[in-house]
Structure 1
Amino acid sequence: MRSRPFGRSGRSVGEVGFGAWAIGAAWGQVDDGQSTAALHAALDAGLDFIDTADVYGDGHSERLIARVLKERGGERPFVATKAGRRLPAQTVDGYSAENLESWIDRSLRNLEADALELVQLHCPPTDAYYHPEIFERMDRLVERGKIVRYGVSVERVEEGLKAIEFPGVASVQIIYNMFRLRPAELFFRQAQRRGVAVIVRVPLASGLLSGKFTADTRFEADDHRQFNRHGEAFDVGETFAGVPYVVGLAAVEKLRPLVPEGVTLAQLALRWILMDEAVSVVIPGARNPAQALANIGAAGLPALSPQTMDAVARIYEQDIKPYVHQRW
C-alpha cells in the first residue's frame, strides 16, 4: 500500500486506514472476536493508521485497539483518537483545560499509551473555532508531552477552513465521498498549502456506497442508520452523508455501471477518494477480516479514468448536490 505524508508532521501513513467507530458501538451488534480479527488482518496486511474516539462504545473501541496492539507487540501503528463528545451538550465552555485533560487522561489509560499520537477535537460547535484559547490549551498539552499533535474533526467545510488558520492544527478529519464533493473545491487546496493532513471519514456514506442496501434493508435499533436518519442523536450528515436514503439508493444504481469487473462498488468509491492528493488517509470501517482486506485492496486499484471521474461528478450534480452541498 502506498504511503502518503501526514501533513507537515514528518510522518507518512498508508493511504487506507481503519475507522474504528463500528467496532465500538452505534452500528448494530458488535462482535469483539470479529472486531479483533479485523484489526489483526488489517495490520498483517500492512495497514498502519487506526482512527478511534473516546465515545465509541464509551471507550470500548479504544480498549479493544489497545488489547490487539498488546497482543501483537512491536512497533505501534499511528493511532488517532478524539475528544469532546463526552460533553452532555456541545458548548464552547465545555472545552475547558480541565475537561480536555480529563478526556485525554482517560484515552491514555484506554489505549495504554504514554502519549497520544493524535487527538482530534470531536466535531465541536462552530463557535469553538473562534476561541483561540481552546487551541492554546491543546498546545499546552503538546508541550507537556501528553499528546504528540492535535487536529480537529469537523462537520462543515467552513469549520475546516477556520481550523487550519491555527498553526498547531496538524490535521482535519472531514466527510468526503462520491456523495459529498464540496471539500475538494477549496478546503483541500488550502489544507495542502498549509501542510495540514486530511483524514477522510464516512467514505462509503455509511454503507450506501457499498451497493449492498435496498429499500427493504432493515437496520438494528442501536444502529445510527436507523436511529439518526433525521439527526435525532447527532449531525444528520454523519448518517448516509446526509443524503436521503431513497435518493442515495437511486444514485447508487447510476454508479454501478462504472464498476470494473472484479472490483466492488465500495472499492471503486475508496479509489475515487484517493484520486485527490490532498487526502492523507481514508478510514473506512470494518467489522470482520474480509471487509478490512477488501478496503485495503482498493489502494491497489489503478487510477480511475477521466471518464469515470466525470461520470461521478455528473451523478453528484444531478442527483445529490441539492441535498448536501451547501449544508456541509
Structure 2
Amino acid sequence: MQYRPLGRTGRTVSMLGYGASPLGGVFGPVDEQAGVRAVRTALDLGVNIIDVSPYYGDTVAETVLGRALRGVDRDSYLLATKVGRYGEASFDFSAARVTASVEESLARLGTDHLDLIQCHDIEFGDLDQVIDETLPALAGLRDAGKVRHLGITGYPLEALTRVAAATPVDTVLSYCRYTLLDRALAAAAPEFAERGVGVMNASPLAMGLLSHRGAPAWHPAPPEVRAAASAAAALCAERGIDIAQVALRFAVEPAQFATTFVGSASPENMARNVRWALTPADAELLADLEKLLAPVRDRAWPSGRPENNIPAGRN
C-alpha cells in the first residue's frame, strides 16, 4: 500500500480508503458480520482511512462501522464522517443540528473524537450558511477536541472551490470527478493544493457506470455517456478483464489525490479491491479506452441547487 499526505493535516493516508456506505445497505441487503469482516480486511491490508455518514442507511452504516472498530487501536486509522445530510431530500446545515449530529455520530461510532468531520453534499445547501454558520460551529467542536479536522464534500467542483476559497477547510471530497469518464478533479486539484487542502476522490466506478452490470436506472448520466461506458465495459470484457479493475487502478494512481474511497460489505470483495488498486493497468488497453471515451469526457450532470453548479464569477 502507498501512503500520501492529507493536505496540511500532518496525517498520511492510504491511497485506497474504505468507503463505508455499503454497510448501510445502500447497494443491497447487508450481512452485518460480513460487513464487520470487510472493514477488518481493509485495515489488515493497509487501509488506514474510513469515510462514513449518518445518511448511509439512515445511521445504520455508522452503527455497523462502530461495531467493526471495537478493539481496534484508535490511532491506527483516520475516521471521517459527515454532517448536514440525513435523507434523500433531508438537509440541515444549521449550527444546532450539526453540533448535535457530531455527538450522535460519536456515540454510534464508539469514539471520543473524529479525525475528520465533513459537510455532506454542500451543493444542496446554502453555501453562505455553510461558510458563515456550519463550518464555524464545527470549528468550535475542533477547539473542544471532539473533531480534529474540517472538510467539505459534494459533486459540483464549483461549490467546493467557492467554499474552500472563502474559509479554511482541511479537505475536500468529490465523487465521480476523477474516473475513466471524468478528469475534472485533477484540473481543480492544484488550486486546492495551493491552499493546503487535501483532495480525496470517491466513486471510481462512477456510481456503477464503469462496471460490467452498467449504470442503475436512477443514474443521472446522459444517454450518450451510458452508451460509451457500456462500450468500454464490452471492450474490457473482450480483453479478459473487468472494467471495474481498470477503473479502480486508474482512479488511485494520481499522487495529487490523498486517497480514493471504495467500499464493500464483503471481505472477499474488499480484498479484491485492494489487489486491483495495487495491480498496474495495461497501457495498451488504457490507450484504447482513452480513444473510446474521449467524445463524452467530463460530461458532468447538475447536482443540488442550480446556483451551486455555476463557476465563481459567473453568477
TM-score, normalised by the number of residues in structure 2: 0.84
Q: Given the alignment, which residue of 181, 184, 189 partners 1:182?
A: 184
Q: Secondary structure at the match of 2:272?
A: helix
Q: Which residue is 2:200 aligned to? A: 199
Contact 2:221 2:301 in 1 (8 A): no
CA contact (8 A) 1:270 1:298 kept: yes
SS in structure 2 at match of 1:279: coil
Q: Secondary structure at the match of 1:169?
A: coil
The aligned residue for residue 306 of structure 2 is none
Instruction: Name the SS of the counterpart of 1:118 in structure 2.
Output: strand
Structure 2: distance between partners of 1:308 and 1:60: 39
Cα offsets for 1:69-107 (capped at 9, x unmatched)? 11445644111111111278566xx32221111100000
- In terms of fraction of residues, the more strand-rich structure is 2
Q: CA deviation at 1:263?
A: 5.3
Q: Compared with structure 1, are the counterparts of its residues 294 and 194 closer, same or farther at alpha carbon in structure 2 (3 Å cutoff)?
A: same
User: Equivalents in 2 of 1:259, 1:191: separation in Å?
Assistant: 37
Distance 1:56 1:309, change over 3 A: same
1:300 to 273, 278, 282: 278
Cα deviation for residue 184 of structure 1 reads 2.2
The match for 2:104 is 106
Alignment correspondent of 1:57? 57
Which amino acid counterpart does residue 316 of structure 1 have in structure 2? L
RMSD: 2.8
- Aligned counterparts of 2:286 and 2:112: Cα–Cα separation in 1: 43
| Helix, strand or coil at the partner of 1:86 | strand
2:274 is equivalent to residue 273 of structure 1 = no
2:94 maps to what in 1? 96
| Residue of structure 2 equivalent to 1:86 | 86
Give the residue type in structure 2 aligned to 1:110.
R
Query: What is the Cα deviation at residue 46 of structure 1?
Result: 1.5
**In the comparison of the two structures, how many residue pairs are matched?**
300
Query: Displacement of 1:111 after TM fit?
Result: 0.7
Counterpart CA distance in 2 for 1:30 and 1:140 is 36
Length-normalised TM-score, structure 1:
0.81
Give the Cα separation in 2 of the matches to 1:255 and 1:88: 29
1:315 to 284, 288, 292: 292
Q: Verify the 8 A CA contact 2:4 2:258 in the aligned structure 1.
A: yes
Q: What is the rounded CA distance, in whole Å, between the counterparts of 1:170 and 1:319 in structure 2?
A: 32
1:120-175 alpha-carbon deviations (Å, 9 max, x no partner): 10112466333432222222221111211110111201011112214531111101
Residue of structure 1 in register with 2:139 after alignment: 139
Alignment of 1:253 with 2:244, yes or no, is: no
Q: Which moved more, 1:11-20 or 1:58-67?
A: 58-67
Distance change >3 Å, CA 87–CA 69, structure 1 → 2: closer
Q: CA 1:325 to 1:314, structure 2 compared with 1: closer, same or farther past 3 Å?
A: farther
> Which one-letter code corresponds to 2:14 in the other structure?
G
Match of 2:173 in 1: 173
**Cα distance, 1:326 vs. partner?**
7.5
- For residue 302 of structure 1, report the CA deviation from its aligned partner: 2.8
Deviations along 1:188-236, whole A, 9 cap, x unmatched? 121222221122111112233232x169xxxxxxxxx45xx1xxxxxxx
1:19 partner amino acid:
G
Q: Secondary structure at the match of 2:85?
A: coil
Aligned-partner Cα distance in 2 for 1:245–1:141: 44
Question: Which residue of the partner structure matches residue 152 of structure 1?
Answer: 152
Q: Distance in 1 between matches of 2:26 and 2:35?
A: 14
Report if the CA contact (8 A) 2:113-2:148 is conserved: yes
Are the aligned partners of 1:208 and 1:249 in contact in 2 as well (CA < 8 Å)? no
CA contact (8 A) 1:126 1:159 kept: no
Displacement after TM superposition at 1:317 (Å): 3.0
Per the TM alignment, residue 303 of structure 1 is displaced from its structure 2 partner at its CA by 6.4
Q: Give, in whole Å, the separation in 2 of the partners of 1:87 and 1:326.
A: 19
Query: 1:275 is aligned with what amino acid?
Result: E
1:137 counterpart SS class: helix
The answer for unaligned runs of 5 or more in structure 1 is: 216-224, 230-238
Corresponding residue number in structure 2 for 1:46: 46
Q: Distance in 2 between matches of 1:291 and 1:249?
A: 26
**2:104 is paired with a residue of what secondary structure?**
helix
